[in-house]
Amino acid sequence: MKINYLYILIMAGVSYAIRVLPLTLIRKQIKNRFLQSFLYYVPYVTLAVMTFPAILGATQSRVSGLLALIAGILAAWLGADLFKVAVLCCIVVLGAEAFLL
Amino acid sequence: MGAKADVARTENRKRAFGEGMRDGVPIGLGYFAVSFSLGIAARGAGLTPFQAFLASLLCNASAGEYAGFTSIAAHATFLEIALVTLIANARYLLMSCAMSQRMPPGIPLRHRLLMAFDITDELFGIAIARPGYLNPFYTYGAVLTAAPCWAFGTALGTVAGNLLPLRLVSALGVALYGMFLAIIIPPGKKDRVVAVLVALCFAASFAASKLPYLSGLSEGTRIILLTVILAAGAALLFPRAAEEEA
């Protein structure tokens, strides 16, 4: 039981170190064009990779996940903000699963 | 003049803080659903609700915590726990690097230390999606809304795993992905490279989840591998001109 606190402490320490080191140590603007471009693309790539196909497994039925994905892409493309896209995806899943399940 | 500038700065901070709190709401909702299931995993690993709460409050990582809890359940060594946490969370290292390039010049160290605490996929995403330098107060607002949902959701999941109807958990679970889409899709309208890249990422990620060997890797490792390969490929083939800097 008490050992769990040690486990948690290690998890917390490593998690924070990963996040704080680059942010505190990199003080200069990176001039290298490749690195600059790489860091520019990282957020899009990592979020895209995490979204698909994981969204299909987040719901009870893969079809409702797929519908939420399509609705979310359309709404975001048409200019809906963060909150609206998120809520729309939830509603699509609720609606779809009411039919599907 | 100094006093006037101070007032303007305070107003600006308040506004950014308020906007952060507002944008933190959908994130908090999604967090609640996801952390609820994380709490169930924590209970499986033998953690008390308070320990699960503490872990989530301090670690703020879905895949990282899940990997940690699984290792605790398997009575892993301390080194193993540290390594598993490192691998599952390595993408935050990249995000932290990206954030370092958008920090206002001369920002005090305390802001760097605080902003680093809750770099997650979602909070990083909404902060980086705003134009110009990152505003620490925007991040603080979002963290203050979202982080408690994460911690309490985990504790609640540990206490009563089957409290929420499955249908609601299912619906809340896509809130996170909806937010991701709202971040990655709109830039594709102006920058075709990003649009094609996002489509390519979907395809590659799907393929990696099915292919032998690759599908055997943990999700965290797969995300890092794909991120490094695809972002490096895009940077090599389509380097950004210096004046295009965000």
The owner of tokens 């504790």 is B155
Band (B162; pLDDT cuts 50, 70, 90): low
Distance from CA of B157 to the nearest CA of A (A): 17
Q: What is the pLDDT of residue A87?
A: 85
ω into B136 cis (within 30 of 0): no
Q: Above 70 in pLDDT, residue B246?
A: no
Do A39 and B94 lie within an 8 Å CB cutoff?
yes
Average pLDDT score over residue span B57-79: 85
Q: pTM for the complete prediction? A: 0.71
Q: Can you read off the two tokens belonging to residue A33?
A: 């064009």
Q: What is the pLDDT of residue A27?
A: 86
The residues, ordered by sequence, that sit 6+ positions from B22 with a Cβ below 8 Å of its Cβ are A83, B141
Name the percent of chain B lying above pLDDT 70. 95
Which of B90, B43, B88, B44 lies closest to B68, judged by CA? B88
Asked if A45 is an interface residue toward chain B (Cβ–Cβ < 8 A), one would say: yes
CA dist., res. A42 & res. A38, Å (int): 6
Q: Above 70 in pLDDT, residue B178?
A: yes
Q: What is the dihedral of CA B131, B120, A30, B229, to 10 degrees?
A: -110
**Is the complex ipTM more than 0.90?**
no
CB atoms under 10 Å from CB of B135, counted, come to 22
Q: Above 80 in pLDDT, residue B200?
A: yes
Asked if B221 is an interface residue toward chain A (Cβ–Cβ < 8 A), one would say: no
Asked if B246 is an interface residue toward chain A (Cβ–Cβ < 8 A), one would say: yes
Do A53 and B205 lie within an 8 Å CB cutoff?
yes
Mean pLDDT for all residues in chain B: 86
The owner of tokens 């809340």 is B172
Q: Considering only CB atoms, which chain A residues are within 8 Å of B147?
A: none
The string over B56-95, giving b where at least 16 C-beta atoms fall within 10 Å of a residue's C-beta and e elsewhere, is bbbbbbbbbbbbbbbbbeeebeeeebbebbbbbbbbbbbb
Q: Can you read off the two tokens belonging to residue B65?
A: 């915590």
Q: Above 80 in pLDDT, residue B245?
A: no
Task: Write the residue in B58, B170, B187 that is nearest to A93 by C-beta.
Answer: B170
Average pLDDT score over residue span A6-20: 95
Evaluate whether B150 touches B164 at the Cβ level (below 8 Å): no
Do A44 and B197 lie within an 8 Å CB cutoff?
yes
Q: Above 70 in pLDDT, residue B15?
A: yes
Average pLDDT score over residue span B33-38: 78
Band (B220; pLDDT cuts 50, 70, 90): low
Chain B's closest residue to A98, CA to CA, is B167
The owner of tokens 């206490």 is B159
Asked if B104 is an interface residue toward chain A (Cβ–Cβ < 8 A), one would say: no
Residue with the larger pLDDT of the pair A23 and B220:
A23
Residues in chain B: 246
CA dist., res. B62 & res. B82, Å (int): 15
Q: Above 80 in pLDDT, residue B199?
A: yes
Band (B1; pLDDT cuts 50, 70, 90): low
- pLDDT tens string A47-58: 898 889 989 988
Evaluate whether A22 touches B92 at the Cβ level (below 8 Å): no
Average pLDDT score over residue span B152-180: 79
DSSP 8-state class, residue A29? P
Band (B138; pLDDT cuts 50, 70, 90): very high
